[in-house]
């Protein structure tokens, strides 16, 4: 079976054209997925190299031709300014790690890993990480869908994003993002799984055979604390938390654990859903969490044939909730499953493509969040 290490090793000779160093040594191979015999990955290039993207793609294909059958699925994107600074600043660092294999160099991402970062400080208000908890009054309104897609959209805008699936009984994020691999321990920390540029941790990673969790009370809080302390998040701009539905123990725990967290409340347009969601909002206010705004999901169904909108679950719930909470309605997402196909190499059941209608709406929401958070 082909492993990530095999792929990284095979890619060692492929150079970043502008920086003239190996893609793997620079940590520029991201989001690698191996599903049966097919490999998909993202190559991040210096903006000056984008003109040579086709050549790099061919180099990658050639390098992998001895390893895998068929063509790898390769996405290429340009570095953000920050990634550029980090890649250039990190060159010496990666180079000095010559004793380790190149695969190891990839393990230790260029960005700041070696800088003696105290990872548990992620909860420290000065860590600079913007925490956003996504809450709802009741289940099934699309909280996890919104969290996952907002995280991916923020990453698509070049932000460094982490996602904690803190619904530790009803975890769903791994399935929704199509994650099949499990995190590995590196040193005394666990590395989150990177998918679509988002670093993900979920209770689902630590459970065998999808068996239900039977812990109670203090164990829950302990697990959550571990998600902050034992995970090697590296440097992040945003850490999104998918909260369990309602206003129960775990939700309260999270509220208290991260006083600096901001919140987004998700509701459907139905009046009672919005009423129930107001309780989640009240909880946020009580614990002094700033509410960034309300997201209304499943707002309407738009007929492909006529373009006509039907308000299947009623109308106005999101706006009313925003008014009640003294905040804004940030987005209204229509009904519609992502147009993904299981045969695609980077299949994920719940992630909307960047160039789809809803995908673009998520990019707009990400932009709003970036403006409001000033990061």
Ligand X SMILES: Nc1ncnc2c1ncn2[C@@H]1O[C@H](COP(=O)(O)OP(=O)(O)OP(=O)(O)O)[C@@H](O)[C@H]1O
Residues near ligand X (CB under 6 A): 136, 139-145, 167, 170, 172, 245, 297-298, 333, 335-337, 350
Query: Closest separation between CB of residue 296 and ligand X, Å?
Result: 10
Question: How large is the C-alpha radius of gyration of the chain?
Answer: 21
Q: CA dihedral in degrees (253, 255, 257, 258; nearest 10)?
A: 160
- Which residue lies nearest ligand X, judged by its C-beta? 139
Distance CA 42, CA 77 (A): 7
In the bound state with Mg ion, the residue whose beta carbon lies nearer, of 143 and 289, is 143
In the bound state with ligand X, the residue whose beta carbon lies nearer, of 181 and 361, is 361
In the bound state with ligand X, the residue whose beta carbon lies nearer, of 170 and 314, is 170
Please choose which of Mg ion, ligand X, none residue 141 contacts, taking the beta carbon within 5 to 8 angstroms, the exact cut-off set by kind.
ligand X
Residue 127 structure tokens: 């860590």
Please choose which of ligand X, Mg ion, none residue 261 contacts, taking the beta carbon within 5 to 8 angstroms, the exact cut-off set by kind.
none
Query: Closest separation between CB of residue 273 and ligand X, Å?
Result: 10
C-alpha of 37 from chain center = 25
Query: Closest separation between CB of residue 220 and Mg ion, Å?
Result: 16
Please choose which of ligand X, Mg ion, none residue 152 contacts, taking the beta carbon within 5 to 8 angstroms, the exact cut-off set by kind.
none
3-state secondary structure of 232: coil
Asked if residues 144 and 175 have their Cβ atoms less than 8 Å apart, the reply is: no
Q: Could you tell me whether strands 262-267 and 189-190 are parallel, antiparallel, or unpaired per DSSP bridges?
A: unpaired
Query: Closest separation between CB of residue 252 and ligand X, Å?
Result: 16
CB atoms within 10 A of CB 58: 13
Q: Which residues bind Mg ion (CB under 5 A)?
A: 143-144
Distance CA 23, CA 159 (A): 20
DSSP secondary structure letter of residue 136: E
Query: Closest separation between CB of residue 170 and Mg ion, Å?
Result: 6
Most distant CA pair in the chain, distance: 63
Distance CA 120, CA 130 (A): 15
Please choose which of ligand X, Mg ion, none residue 139 contacts, taking the beta carbon within 5 to 8 angstroms, the exact cut-off set by kind.
ligand X
In the bound state with ligand X, the residue whose beta carbon lies nearer, of 297 and 348, is 297
In the bound state with ligand X, the residue whose beta carbon lies nearer, of 142 and 197, is 142
Query: Closest separation between CB of residue 340 and ligand X, Å?
Result: 11
Please choose which of ligand X, Mg ion, none residue 336 contacts, taking the beta carbon within 5 to 8 angstroms, the exact cut-off set by kind.
ligand X
Distance CA 161, CA 182 (A): 19
Please choose which of ligand X, Mg ion, none residue 55 contacts, taking the beta carbon within 5 to 8 angstroms, the exact cut-off set by kind.
none
In the bound state with ligand X, the residue whose beta carbon lies nearer, of 102 and 144, is 144
Query: Closest separation between CB of residue 275 and ligand X, Å?
Result: 16
Q: Alpha helices, DSSP H only, in the chain?
A: 4-11, 53-65, 81-89, 91-96, 102-107, 143-156, 173-177, 218-229, 249-257, 271-286, 317-325, 357-373
3-state secondary structure of 218: helix
Residue 52 structure tokens: 């040579």
Classify residue 103 by burial, with Cβ atoms within 10 Å: 0-12, 13-18, 19+. middle
In the bound state with ligand X, the residue whose beta carbon lies nearer, of 27 and 204, is 204
Please choose which of Mg ion, ligand X, none residue 112 contacts, taking the beta carbon within 5 to 8 angstroms, the exact cut-off set by kind.
none
Please choose which of Mg ion, ligand X, none residue 267 contacts, taking the beta carbon within 5 to 8 angstroms, the exact cut-off set by kind.
none
In the bound state with ligand X, the residue whose beta carbon lies nearer, of 68 and 213, is 213
Query: Closest separation between CB of residue 135 and ligand X, Å?
Result: 10
């Amino acid at each position: 079976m082909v492993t990530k290490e095999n792929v990284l090793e095979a890619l060692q000779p492929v150079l970043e054209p502008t920086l003239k160093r190996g893609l793997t040594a620079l940590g520029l191979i991201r989001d690698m997925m191996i599903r049966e015999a097919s490999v998909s990955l993202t190559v991040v290039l210096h903006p000056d190299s984008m003109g040579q993207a086709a050549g790099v793609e061919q180099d990658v294909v050639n390098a992998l031709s001895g390893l895998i059958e068929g063509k790898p699925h390769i996405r290429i994107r340009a570095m953000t300014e920050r990634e550029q600074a980090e890649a250039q600043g990190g060159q010496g660092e990666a180079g000095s790690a010559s004793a380790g294999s190149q695969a190891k160099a990839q393990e230790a991402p260029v960005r700041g890993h070696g800088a003696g970062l105290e990872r548990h400080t992620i909860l420290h208000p000065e860590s600079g990480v913007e925490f956003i908890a996504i809450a709802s009054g009741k289940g099934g309104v699309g909280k996890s869908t919104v969290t996952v897609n907002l995280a991916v959209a923020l990453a698509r805008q070049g932000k460094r994003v982490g996602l904690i699936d803190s619904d530790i009984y009803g975890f769903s994020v791994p399935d929704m993002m199509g994650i099949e691999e499990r995190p590995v321990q590196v040193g005394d920390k666990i590395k989150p799984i990177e998918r679509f540029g988002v670093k993900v941790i979920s209770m689902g990673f630590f459970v065998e055979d999808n068996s239900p969790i039977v812990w109670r009370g203090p164990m829950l809080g302990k697990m959550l604390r571990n998600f902050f302390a034992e995970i090697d998040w590296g440097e992040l701009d945003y850490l999104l938390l998918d909260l369990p539905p309602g206003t129960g123990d775990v939700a309260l725990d999270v509220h208290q654990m991260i006083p600096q967290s901001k919140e987004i409340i998700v509701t459907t347009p139905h009046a009672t859903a919005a009423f129930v969601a107001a309780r989640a909002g009240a909880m946020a206010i009580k614990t002094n969490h700033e509410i960034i705004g309300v997201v209304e999901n499943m707002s309407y169904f738009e007929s492909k044939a006529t373009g006509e909108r039907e308000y299947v679950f009623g109308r106005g719930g999101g706006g009313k909730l925003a008014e009640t909470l003294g905040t804004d309605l940030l987005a209204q997402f229509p009904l519609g499953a992502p147009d993904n196909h299981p045969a695609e190499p980077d299949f994920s059941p719940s992630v909307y493509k960047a160039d789809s209608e809803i995908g673009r709406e998520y990019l707009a929401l990400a932009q709003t969040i970036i403006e409001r958070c000033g990061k």
